[in-house]
C-alpha cells in the first residue's frame, strides 16, 4: 500500500478540529468541567472495502453527582448544535422511565458529534468522529512464490497436497482474510488469520514417513506401495479426509527445517521409511 500524500495530516487536523468543537460545546453545556477527551493516537479502520477508510473517534464522560442531573441538557445541546449549522436528531430510549436515555446526534461535513444524558445521572457523555478517509492507495495482491516446488522438494518428502508447496494458506494465499462483498473482508475460513497452510504449517512439503496410509494413497508415486504394504485404515465413512483429526495428525509431524539433506539422499522417496513402506530390495 502506498501512502496518499497529505491524507494522514488532513485526518489528524480533522481530529483536532473535532476535539476543539467538543470542548467548545462542553464549555457552554457543562462549564463546570472540561471534558477529558480520549483520542487514540491512530485512527480506526471503519470500512474494510478497498481503499480502506480510516476515522478518529473521541470520547469523554462528564461525572457529576446525581443531584446535578439537568433535564434541559439535551434540548440545550440540540439548540446549540443547530444554531452552529449541524444537522441534529434526537433519540430517546426507555422514555418516561427512571433510566430514560437521550442521545443528541449532530452531523456536519462528514463529522459527527453526540451528547448522551441519562435520567438520574448527573453527568453526560460527549463523543465525536471525524469523516472517514482513505490513507493508502490499494495495490493488487501478488500471490507469494511457493516455498517448495517439484524441483526443490527434499528427498523423503512430497509436496503438501493441501497447498501444493505454497506453504501459505491456499485459500487466502497468506493474507489471513478473504474478500467479502458486504464487509470488504472476512476472516479466512481455512487458516483463521494464521496465514500458514494448516497442514504443513508453512513447510510446503510433508515427510513421507509420517504420512498416514490414506494420505499416501493420494500421491500416485506412493500409491502402488501403499496399496501393497499398508493395511486398510478404518475410517468413519461419513468423515472427510480433511477432518481436524487428520490435520492434527499431519501437524504432529513438523518438518525439521534445520535438517541437512545429504546429496545421496536426494531423490530417494523412501528415505526415512522402514519396511514395509520401504521396498525390501534396493532397485539399484
> Which chain residues interact with Zn ion by CB under 5 A?
160, 162-163, 169, 171-172, 188, 190-191, 197, 199-200
Q: DSSP state, 38? A: B
**Residue 60's closest CA among 110, 9, 116?**
116
Q: Name the residue with cell 453527582.
A: 65
> Least Å distance between CB 188 and Zn ion?
3
Residue placing its CB nearer to Zn ion in the complex, 128 or 202: 202
> Least Å distance between CB 256 and Zn ion?
16
> Least Å distance between CB 96 and Zn ion?
51
Residue placing its CB nearer to Zn ion in the complex, 35 or 198: 198
Residue placing its CB nearer to Zn ion in the complex, 26 or 166: 166
**Residue 188's closest CA among 200, 202, 198?**
198
C-alpha cell at 75: 434540548
Q: How far apart are CA 190 and CA 197, in angstroms?
A: 8
Burial classification of residue 139, based on how many CB atoms lie within 10 Å of its CB (0-12 exposed, 13-18 middle, 19 or more buried): exposed
Residue placing its CB nearer to Zn ion in the complex, 115 or 163: 163
> Least Å distance between CB 93 and Zn ion?
41
> Least Å distance between CB 169 and Zn ion?
3
Q: CA–CA distance from 244 to each of 205, 218, 248 (Å)? A: 19, 18, 6
φ/ψ of 54, rounded to 5, equals -115, 150
Residue placing its CB nearer to Zn ion in the complex, 78 or 172: 172
Amino acid at each position: 500500500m502506498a501512502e496518499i500524500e497529505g491524507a494522514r495530516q488532513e485526518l489528524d487536523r480533522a481530529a483536532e478540529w473535532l476535539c476543539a468543537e467538543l470542548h467548545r460545546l462542553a464549555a457552554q453545556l457543562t462549564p463546570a468541567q472540561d471534558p477529558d477527551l480520549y483520542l487514540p493516537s491512530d485512527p480506526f479502520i471503519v470500512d474494510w472495502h478497498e481503499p480502506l477508510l480510516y476515522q478518529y473517534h473521541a470520547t469523554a464522560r462528564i461525572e457529576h453527582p446525581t443531584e446535578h442531573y439537568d433535564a434541559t441538557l439535551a434540548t440545550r445541546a440540540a439548540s446549540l448544535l443547530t444554531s452552529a449549522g449541524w444537522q441534529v436528531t434526537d433519540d430517546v430510549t426507555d422514555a418516561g422511565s427512571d433510566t430514560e436515555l437521550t442521545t443528541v446526534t449532530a452531523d456536519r461535513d462528514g463529522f459527527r458529534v453526540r451528547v448522551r444524558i441519562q435520567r438520574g445521572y448527573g453527568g453526560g457523555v460527549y463523543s465525536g468522529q471525524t469523516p472517514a478517509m482513505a490513507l493508502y492507495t490499494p495495490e493488487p495482491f501478488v500471490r507469494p512464490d511457493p516455498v517448495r516446488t517439484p524441483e526443490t522438494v527434499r528427498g523423503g518428502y512430497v509436496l503438501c497436497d493441501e497447498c501444493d508447496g505454497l506453504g501459505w494458506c491456499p485459500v487466502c494465499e497468506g493474507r489471513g482474510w478473504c474478500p467479502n462483498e458486504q464487509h470488504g473482508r472476512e476472516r479466512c475460513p481455512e487458516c483463521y488469520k494464521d496465514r500458514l497452510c494448516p497442514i504443513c504449517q508453512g513447510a510446503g512439503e510433508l515427510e513421507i514417513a509420517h504420512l498416514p496410509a490414506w494420505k499416501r494413497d493420494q500421491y500416485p508415486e506412493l500409491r502402488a506401495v501403499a496399496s501393497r504394504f499398508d493395511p486398510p485404515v478404518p475410517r468413519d465413512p461419513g468423515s472427510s479426509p480433511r477432518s481436524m483429526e487428520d490435520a492434527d495428525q499431519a501437524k504432529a509431524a513438523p518438518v525439521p527445517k534445520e535438517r541437512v539433506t545429504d546429496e545421496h539422499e536426494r531423490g530417494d522417496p523412501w528415505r526415512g521409511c522402514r519396511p514395509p513402506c520401504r521396498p525390501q530390495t534396493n532397485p539399484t
